[in-house]
Structure formats: C-alpha cells, structure tokens
Amino acid sequence: MYSKYLNHALMAVLITAAVLTACGKKNEAAKTASGELIVKIGQVSPLTGPQSHLGKDNDNGARLAIDEANARGVTLGGQKVKFVLLSEDDQADPKTATIVAQKLVDAGVKGVVGHLNSGASIPASKIYFDAGIPQISPSATAIKYTDQGFKTAFRTMTNDRQQGRVVGEFMVKKMGGKRVAIIDDRTAYGQGLADEVEKAVKASGGELVAREYTSDKVMDFSAILTSIKGKNPDVLFFGGMDPQGAPMAKQMRSLGLKARFLGGDGLQTPEFLKLASAAAEGVTASSPGLPIDGMPGGKVFREKFNAKYGVIQNYAPYAYDAVTAMITAMEKAGSAEPAKYLVELPNIRFAGVTGEIGFDTKGDVLGGAITLYRVKAGKWEVVETVVSGSVPKK
Amino acid sequence: MDIFLQQIVNGLVLGSIYALIALGYTMVYGILELINFAHGEVTMIGGMVCIAILQALLPAGSVPLLVALALGVGGAILVCMLLGLAIERVAYRPLRRAPRLTALITAIGVSIVLQNTAMLIWGKQYVSFPDVIEIKRYEFVGAHITNLQITIVLLALLLMLALLVLVYRTRLGRAMRATAQSPDLAALMGVNPNSVIAATFIIGAALAAVAGIMVSAYYGLAHYYMGFLLGLKAFSAAVLGGIGNVAGAMLGGILLGLVESLGAGYIGPLTGGFLGSNYQDVFAFFVLILVLVFRPSGLLGERVGERA
Amino acid sequence: MTPSWRRRWQHLKHDRRTVIATWLVMGIVLALLPFVTGDLLGRSWVRIIDFALLYIMLALGLNIVVGYAGLLDLGYIAFYAVGAYLYALLASPQFGMHWPVWAILPMGATVAAGFGVLLGAPTLKLRGDYLAIVTLGFGEIVRIFLTNLNTPINITNGPQGISLIDPVSIGGFSLGETQSFLGITLPSTYAYYYLFLALSLAIVFISIRLQDSRIGRAWVAIREDEVAAAAMGINTRNVKLLAFAMGASFAGVSGGLFAGFQGFISPESFTLFESVIVLCMIVLGGMGNIAGVVLGALLITIFPEALRYLGDLQQLSFGRVLVDPNDLRLLVFGLALVIVMLFRPAGLLPSVRRRREFSADESVLSQEQASLYDTRR
C-alpha cells in the first residue's frame, strides 16, 4: 500500500544514521599522562558573525587565566589538576546557545564562562541550572539574567540597572544636559541599558526630548539623527555597540548635530577609537569596573594580554576574572565538582583585574564601580569613577 | 523646514547608494531572470579590496594619494569583475536550464561562501577606511551636505545614464536586450549568449565594486557581513522600480531611500508618538507592498502577459 | 537499463511481508533513536534531533506553499514566530496565563492560518519574484513588530524576549523535567522527541493525503499554468489562499512547540535567514517530494552541527587545527549548497514529475518540450 514511500523513507533514515555515526563522540581521557586530573571549563561567545571580535576577546581572556592557572599549578583535594578550556560558538543566537550549552553539559564541563550576549545567556542559564553547573557571564548585562532565580547564574559585569543609573545621573548633573536624546539598537543589551538611562535621566530632573531606534545591523543613522537635531538636545546617549556608535558619531559631525555624545560599555573600546577617528574626540562612555590602569593588577594584565593576543577589545578582563572566580571557589572547596564549589562561589572575595570580586545573593557582582571615560587626543581618559556601594570584607 | 530638507538630502544619498547596487541586480535579472543574492557580497568585497589596497600602499608614504586611490579603486573593480565572471561560470552557467528556485538556492550558497571567505581573509573586525578624503561640508538652506555625499549622488546618476546608453545605443546593449528576450533566437541572429551573459555579469560586478567603495568611504568602515543588508535593500529597490528595468532600478533606489529617511523622521509625528523610528523598515515595506498591489510589476516594470 | 538489484528491490517492495517487516524495523529504530543517540553521542545530539523534527514540520508546511502551489514565500518564518509567541503569551509569566498545550496548539494553527490568509490576500496578482519580495517584507514586518511591541503596552517584551515559558505538559507529566516511566528514565529531551515525532508523523500523513487530494491537484495545476487552471474551473484565489493558510498552520503548530521546548523566545530566532534556511531545506531535499523535504530538513539541521567536529578532523589529518572549525562551518555549508545544486538541480530526492523533467530520456524530453522558443520555464 505505502510501498512507494518505502524507498524514500529508508533512504532518509539510512543517510541520517550514516551522518550521525560519522561524528562519533571522542572518548576523552579523564587524566593526563602525568596523572593530573583534567578539569574542563566551557567558554561560550559569538565566534562568528558581526560580534565575533568581542567573542574572541572573551575567549582570549578566559584562556589567559586558564594558562596561568596551569602554569602555577593548582591542587584540589590533594590532586594536581590541569584545566582545559572548551570553547564554543553560539553566534549570539538564543537557539544555538541552548544547543551548545547542552553540548558542554554533556562534555562534562565543571563550569561555564559565558555567554557574551544577554539574549544568549538567559536561555542557556536554564540548561546549566538544570545540570547544576555554575555559569559566570563576563558581559551579559540584562537584569533578567540574575532575576530568574537560578542559583548557578553569576556575572562579573555590573548589570544595566547600575550602569544606566550612573550614566543617566552623570549626563544630567555633571554634564549639564537638560535636554536629552536617547537612541538604542533594539537588542536586549542596548534597549535594556537605554531604558535604565532614561529612568535615571528623568529621576535626575532631565527632560527627554527624543527617543529613537535603530537596529544592530544598520550603518546609516542620518534620518534619526536629523530628526533628533530638530529637537535641539544637549546630550545624546546611544545604547549599543561600537560598530554602530562609530559611524553614528561621524554622521553627527556631518549633520552638524552639536549635542555631546555618550555611550555605554559597548562603546568604550579601542575599536571605537579606530573606527570613529576624528569624530571620537569628546565622546564619553561608561564602563563597569575600575579603569584598568587604576587597579593593582590592571597594568600587568594588559601587558600580558597584549603580548599574547593583541589589543583588549572589551570584556576580556571580565572573562579572566570569571575564570579566576571559579578556580578560587574550587580551591576553597577543595574540589572541582560543581555541587561542592557552587556553594563557595557566593562566599569568595579576591582582587580581580576589574576590581574587588564578590557576588551577592542573586549572583550579581558586588561593589559595582562604574568608570566614565572621555576621548581626549584620540585616547580614552578617565573622567570619574563612581562607586555605588562598597564591597564588604569577609 | 530645514529638517525636512535635510531628510530629503539624506534620503537622496542613501537612495543613490541603493540605486548603484540595484543596477547590478536588475541587469542580471533582466537577462537571466535570476535574483543574484551574491551581488551584495560582491559589493562588500569591492569595498574590502579597496581598503586593503589603500592600507597597503598608504602608510609607506611613498605613494602619492591620488595614485593610491586610483590603484585602490581600479584594483577593487578588477577583482570584482573577475569574481563576477567566476561566479557566473562556475555556479550559474550549468544551471541555465534549471528551475529558478535551484539557481536561487545556488545564489544563496555562493553568497554564504563569499561572506565567510571574506571573514577568513580579512578577519572578523570592522575595517576602517583610511582617513584620506577631506570632508568639506556645505550648508544649503539649512541642510548640511558633504562633498562625499554630492559625489555619490552624481556618480549614481552618471552611471545610470552610462548604463542606459550602453543598453539602448550600443551593439552590446542590443545583444543584451536580444538575449534577454530569447537566448536561442538571439543565437540564431549571430549573438553569442554566453559572452553577452558574461559581459552582463562583469558590468554588474563593476557597478557593485563602485558601490562598495562608495559605501565604505561614506560610512568609514567595512565588514564582511555588510553585504547582506545592503543587498536586501537594493533588491527591494530594484523590485520597487520594476526588476529588469535600468531606469526602474534608479527610481526604485532613490524612492526607497527617501521613504526610509522620511519614514524614520516622521513616523513619530504622523502617528502621534504611537509608532517611532523603530518601525521605519515596516513603513518602507508597507510602501513597497502598496506600490506592488497597484502596479504588480513595479513602478516602471513591463506588464508581462501570462505565458500560455 | 535499470540494474538487476534495483529490479529485485522493486519486486520485493510489493511483497507484503517485506513491506511490513521493513516498516516494523524502521518503527523500532525511530522508537529507540533517542536512547541510542544519547548514549553514543551525548544528549545534545538528541536536542539537535528534536530541532530537526521541528524543522521537518516547518519544511513540510513550506513545501505546500512552494512545492505544491509554486508560490515563492521568503517570509515563512513569520508564521513560526506567530505560533511561538502565541504559546509564550498564553503560557508564561508575561501575562500570568498558563493555558495547557492542547488548547494553545490548535489556536496557534488557526491564528497562523489567519496570518497566512492576511499575507496571501494582497499578493494574488503578483508573480514570481515580486511575490518573493512581498513575502520577505511580511516576514520582516512581523519580526519588527515583535521586537517593538513593548511600548506603550508591553505585549511581546521587545528584544529581550519572553522567558520562563511553561514546558509542554501532557496529562500531568511535564516534559520539561526528567521523568521515570516504567523503570526507564526519560530525560526531557527524549520526551520531547517522542512528542515531536508523533506530530511530525501526523503532518507527514496530512501532507501525503493533501498531495493526492483534489486540492493537491489543484495546487499542482496553478503551479504549472495558472491560466489553464482557471480555464479548467479552479478558483485560483481560494486555492492560493488555502495553500498559504495550510502551510502557515503547520508553522504555527511547530512554533508553539518550539516555545515550550526552549523555554525562551526572542525576535532574534525569527530572522530572514531562518526563512531562507527552510527554503533551502525543501529545494535541496527535492521540492514537492515529502521524503525529499524530510531529508533536506534533517541534513541541513544536522550538517552544521556535525561540522563542529571539523576541528577533530583537522587534528587527525594534519596533526593540528589549522583553521578554527567555527569559522569553517558556514563556509562548508554554503559550498555544500552550491555543490548539491550543481550536481542534483532537482534536489536529492526529486519528485517523480521533476525527475521526468530532468531525465536524459529522449522520448520523454521531446514530449515535454513545448516549443523551440520556450527556453525558460
């Protein structure tokens, strides 16, 4: 009866089976030749696509920490361990993020540094939570990430609420911005940050004269910038990343839009300086944490990183601190087993590259210093550091 | 009022960029009825190659600026022409008699290959166009315009006129039109369809290269992913004007640019703040759909009767 | 001449016992697949198979629009998005509603079908590439609305998406947790596999019946020659709208399942690229042929994931990893598309009709060829 479909159905199943068996699971050794215990740590970020330069940066930061830990030799519970970094590409896509999250869980990672984007970290966090594997994101700033109540979700980057508040207040009070315009790129990150800035601006007594939107793939902003120009703002804040911020700054110049330009941590990168060249002058941007040279370990980190991987793009120090946090907690617990060191994570305190690292009950990083930078003579210079709450010593 | 004028200027410039790219789309479609999805990627490669050449020649300081620019532009155009030829030969020619969807999927495949090859060659970073062009700003009844923007608009117009002359006043153009109507009959008349099609691709690719150079010079940066959105917008522009029609591509491009600019600027006031500039693409597509409902073959498209 | 083993097989196919035995074996393979895959390759591969099944449903839906009715739809993913968001809105903290899945899925199918009619209505007069751009625009419009409907009233929660969506729950069993069933532990991904498999088989069945029905033949008629079809008394308007509606309804169901499965949706999952991928699945697999479409969906979902292992392959052949496998993944995918299309332009498993169009059999070709001047389809 259905015999004519038999051929086709059989072929379909056979070909699929062949493809599946072709990619067999590697039988990985649990111990190295010298009897060290292998501890796998996962790293997920977009390694392909428009944000791949940031993704690779996270990867490099994590790798630096892993290599240093291996070089100094870590012992857990009397056993020498060797750390191995398993890097995966989530393409900043939520669906891919869940697939690679499951893949890492299956591979037996003891912890995950990632993901880079909030939109990817949030769905993946459920998978890590179900498996009981701690996840520390170096760059996801959406409030929802720690609001979900997953005990395994942490981050070393201050969230949008803190950053937005500081920037908004700074714009109105310190920069004298009475008329404020805000643009966001309609991504989870850009919109989240812009919303918080808007709230803070209004709370500080500023007037929002324009709220415009773009997307994270566009290069032309003349239409919305022209529209904003007609409203005569003093300051313009952009919630988005450097590949958009740079042409935006340039187009502001050519259109004669005289407002001061501000951005969040997505703009505070060397890439921005390179892409915007002359138009970058005078642009202000915020970044969580202390300025890298203002930290005890900052300069050293920068030199080590530059030697191996080149210029720091943005979040590499946070990825570095995320790995250090994990290893510190493992050492405190005397074990690399997630169940054991997860309980230690909220208790650790150490001087990380980005500042004093400690986590609160939700998993957000304590302390939350925000530094504001301004471009002077083609370089980012520190304007002010705002510390919202000090880190209690334990 | 000056804001309105500025938006018009913005729209014209953006539209000219779309028109430049749309010209290539429409030429290939006219002859092969193929949506060359890889066209956006060829544009991107034009920009990237030009930047690469400039970055290689300039820092040394030994090469004078004009020479470097000429080499950059010429090199990019040459590379793109060869690329267009290669794509046609390898990917499209074997599929001349295949159903249109097959060729479409192949075009998509080629576009993905080009994108990722560019990523492997030039990296994932955004590359910036060297700061060599001196931007002069002019003010005109309250609207600001730069010399670069004027160049883009004039160039698009010039190239379109040149293309029209080519298609309607030269032997090659006549051969192209003949091949577009019927390759077999044209062959009987002494036209080599393969050469004509190859020439079409080469010219289209050259136009794409120019567009790519202009885009990366104007925005100051290039990235391996930028061809996707540009290609999409240009394709919409070509369809809007009537795909297969050279003047239509120009008209569609300018119109799309204007609609996007004015839309982004005025949706807010028009809807009383209910919708904002975040709906500018919706507005643009809405206008496109409206036009197509009333003129199903685009603004200047021919009414092709149903083939029996 | 057909080879002798082929003839043997064609004889065997009609032997009742062989047919039943083969179906039985395949049934057992399908039933055990998640356990075998999970043990051999890891649970993430079962997850990939789950996604593959969702894509199979999607591809079969698009197959109706593009394969049967010949309407080039580049915005198909919008219906998937509609189904997913409907589920998310009715079963998550967003509105505080928690409707059961058996209520939401039919609603998703209906609402998506409604959107299909909405898309189809203004496009009835458009042919070929104009239809393509309008459907593309429609897909983008839906996505932009989903990204921005968070002010003034928050409906879709904008770019941040909706999270903490209720997992699918059947008869009290939540598929989101590992369950124990007759002594076997059934992890969540395995449970979803069976659900998706059941629904996929249902959709395959519906597709087969549609193909052989009057509607199916009407679709083929308007695809091949719309004027002749109208002359034969087919109401082309209704038939086209029905194609859009049916195709959309499959996507609506699949979308709802996707939302429940992933627990989080955001507009980023419903881009133009996704629409294009689904189109590639059916063209690559063999348009109009159900088995081909299924194969295309399977291959295109699994292939890029398999390419992640390119690093291991390089390690084996060159002793070290030359190029990061992640960089190569999409490149190889694009190359695969081009190569398959060059060598099998009708797809991997073309339908019988198309094979005739492409066959080198001279007698068939001369019959099919209309006139000397009619060089393009």
pLDDT at A392: 38
- Any A CB within 8 A of B295 CB: no
pLDDT above 60 for A21: no
Residue B122 bridge partners (DSSP): none
- Residues C75 and C109: their CA atoms lie apart, in Å, by 17
Residue with the bigger pLDDT between A49 and A153: it is: A153
* Interface subset of C 160-199, CB within 8 angstroms of A: 160-161, 163-164, 189
Neighbours of chain A (3+ CB pairs under 8 A): B, C
C127–B296 C-beta distance less than 8 A: yes
pLDDT at position A113, please? 95
* Residue bearing the bigger pLDDT, A296 or C107: C107
Is residue C102 included in any domain, yes or no? yes
DSSP state letter for B58? S
Confidence bin at A115 (pLDDT 50/70/90): very high
State the Cα–Cα distance between residues B135 and B217, nearest whole angstrom: 11
Instruction: Tell which of C256, C288, C320 closes a domain.
Output: C288
**Paired tokens of A389:** 């709450």
> Measured at the alpha carbon of residue A229, what is the angle toward residues A228 and A235, in degrees to the nearest 5?
75
CATH topology of domain A37-157+294-363: Rossmann fold (3.40.50)
- Mean pLDDT, residues B100-109 taken together: 88
Which pLDDT does position C371 carry in this prediction?
A: 38
Calculate the dihedral angle through the C-alpha atoms of B185, B188, B189, B192, rounding to the nearest 10 degrees.
90
| Spatial distance between the Cα atoms of A311 and A308, rounded to a whole number of angstroms | 9
Q: Is residue C376 part of a domain?
A: no
CB contact under 8 A, C299 and A19: yes
- Pair C274, C188 in one domain: yes
Asked whether the bond before A53 is cis by omega within 30 degrees of 0, the reply is no
Q: Between chains, do A19 and C306 touch, taking CB under 8 Å as contact? A: yes
Give the pLDDT confidence of B217-272 residue by residue, as tens digits. 888 888 888 898 889 899 999 989 988 888 899 999 999 999 998 888 888 777 77
> Which of B159-173, B292-306, C263-277 is the least confident region?
B292-306
Whether B241 and chain A come into contact, CB under 8 Å, resolves to no
Same domain, C97 and C233: yes
Q: Do the beta carbons of residue B49 and residue B56 sit within 8 Å?
A: no
Map residue A62 onto helix, strand or coil: helix
- Which residue, of C288, C303, C334, is where some domain finishes? C288
Contact B239 C376 (CB under 8 A): no
Determine, yes or no, domain membership for C326. Answer: no
Judged by CB atoms closer than 8 Å, whether chains meet at B106 and C128 is answered as no
Tell me which of A4 and A228 has the higher pLDDT.
A228
C336: in domain: no
Residue A117: pLDDT band (50, 70, 90) is confident
Q: For chain A, what is the mean pLDDT?
A: 84
Q: Which residues of A touch C268 (CB under 8 A)?
A: 92-94, 119
Exposed, middle or buried: residue A242 (CB in 10 Å: 0-12, 13-18, 19+)?
buried
Question: Within this chain, do residues C54 and C36 fall inside the same structural domain, yes or no?
Answer: no
From first CA to last CA, the distance across chain B in angstroms is 53
Of the candidates C22, C160, C298, the beta carbon closest to that of A188 is on C160
**Which pLDDT score is estimated for C370?**
41
- Identify the chains in contact with C, defined as 3+ C-beta pairs within 8 A: A, B
Average pLDDT over residues B171-180: 90
Quick check: helix, strand or coil at residue A211? strand
Higher pLDDT, B289 or A24: B289
Q: With bands split at pLDDT 50, 70 and 90, how would you rate the model's confidence at A16?
A: low
Could you tell me if C25 and C60 lie in one domain? Answer: no
b/e C326-351 (16+ beta carbons within 10 angstroms → b): bbbbbbbbbbbbbebbbeebbbbbbb
pLDDT at C310: 66
Q: Which residue segment(s) compose the domain that C92 sits in?
A: 43-288
Which residue is it, tokens 């690292």?
A357
> If pLDDT is split at 50, 70 and 90, which confidence band does A390 have?
very low
Instruction: Please name which of C131, C134, C125, C375 lies closest in space to residue C230, comparing C-alpha atoms.
Output: C125
Q: How far apart are CA C156 and CA C88, in angstroms?
A: 9
Domain limit, last residue, from C255, C288, C321:
C288
Measuring CA to CA, which residue among A316, A289, A264, A286 is closest to residue A391? A289
Show me where the domains of chain A are located: 37-157+294-363, 161-288+372-387
Same domain for C87 and C33: no
The whole-angstrom separation of Cα B69 and Cα B58 is 9
Q: Between C101-120 and C77-90, two packed helices, what is the crossing angle to 10 degrees?
A: 140
Is C258 in contact with C80 (CB distance < 8 Å)? Answer: yes
Examine the domain organization and report whether C173 and C278 are in the same domain: yes
Asked whether the beta carbons of residue A119 and residue C161 sit closer than 8 angstroms, the reply is yes
Q: Which of C164, C262, C324 sits opposite A98 (nearest CB)?
A: C262
The residues near A260 (Cβ < 8 Å, ≥ 6 apart) are A175, A177, A234, A235, A236, A282, A284
Flag whether C199 is in a domain. Answer: yes
| Domains parsed from chain B with CATH numbers | 2-294 (1.10.3470)
**Closest C-chain CA to A23:** C306
Nearest CB among C13, C262, C324 relative to A47 is that of C324
Residue C56 placed within a domain: yes
Q: Do C104 and C118 belong to one domain?
A: yes
Q: How far apart are CA A74 and CA A91, in angstroms?
A: 32
Whether C156 and C259 share a structural domain: yes
| CB within 8 Å: C161 and A7 | no
Nearest to B230 by CA among B79, B9, B31, B16: B16
Strand partners, A371: A287, A385
pLDDT block averages, 10 residues each, chain C of length 377: 67 76 87 84 83 94 92 93 94 86 92 94 83 90 89 81 83 77 79 92 94 91 89 92 95 94 86 90 87 92 78 67 71 89 86 60 42 40
Q: Is residue C17 domain-shared with residue C67, that is, in the same domain?
A: no
Residue C251 one-letter amino acid: A
CA distance A320 to A332: 18
Q: Are C348 and C295 in contact (CB under 8 A)?
A: yes
- Interface check for A311 against chain B (CB to CB < 8 A): the answer is no
Contact yes or no for A212 and B128 at CB 8 A: no
Q: Residues A175-224: pLDDT tens digits?
A: 888 899 999 988 878 888 899 999 999 998 889 998 888 887 888 898 89
Distance from the Cα of A253 to chain B's closest Cα (Å) equals 10
Question: Which candidate, A144, A151, A103, places its Cα nearest to that of A123?
Answer: A144
- Token digits of residue C213: 């029905």
CA pair distance C240, C229, nearest whole angstrom: 12
Q: What's the rounded mean pLDDT across residues B38-61? A: 89
For residues A266 and A287, give the distance between their C-alpha atoms in angstroms, rounded to a whole number.
8
Q: Is A42 in contact with A58 (CB distance < 8 Å)?
A: no
Closest residue, chain C, to B118 (C-alpha): C331
∠ CA A146-A147-A152, nearest 5°, is 40
8 A C-beta contact, residue B128 and residue A275? yes
Given this model, what pLDDT does residue A393 score?
A: 38
CATH architecture of the domain with residue range A161-288+372-387: 3-Layer(aba) Sandwich (3.40)
Domain count, chain C: 2
Nearest to C341 by CA among B111, B32, B79, A10: B111
**pLDDT in the model for residue B308:** 35
Answer for the pair A391, A359: CB distance below 8 angstroms, yes or no: no
Of A387, A386, A383, A388, residue with least CA distance to A260 = A383
Q: Check CB contact under 8 Å for B225 and A50.
A: yes
Indicate the Cα dihedral angle C203, C204, C210, C213, nearest 10°: -140
User: Is the domain of C196 the same as that of C89?
Assistant: yes
What pTM did the predictor assign? 0.84
Convert the pLDDT of each residue in A59-108 to its tens digit: 999 999 999 999 998 888 888 899 999 999 888 888 788 888 988 988 88
Q: Are residues C154 and C247 in the same domain?
A: yes
Average of per-residue pLDDT values in chain B = 87
Q: Please state whether the peptide bond connecting residue C152 to the residue before it is cis, i.e. omega within 30 degrees of 0.
A: yes
Amino acid identity of residue B222, one-letter, is A
- pLDDT of res. A11: 58
Nearest chain B residue to C278 by CA distance is: B105
The total number of residues written for chain C in this structure: 377
Å between A384 CA and nearest CA of chain C: 30
Say if the Cβ atoms of B115 and C342 lie within 8 Å.
Answer: no
Residue B305's pLDDT band (cuts 50, 70, 90): very low
Helix (H) or strand (E) holding B99: none
Cβ proximity of B105 and C279 under 8 Å? yes
Q: Are the beta carbons of B135 and A254 separated by less than 8 Å?
A: yes
> By the CB < 8 Å criterion, does B262 face chain A?
yes
B292/C134 Cβ within 8 A: yes
* C36/C151 same-domain check: no
Spatial CB neighbours of C293, under 8 Å, sequence gap ≥ 6: C56, C59, C60, C63, C67, C281, C282, C285, C286, C287
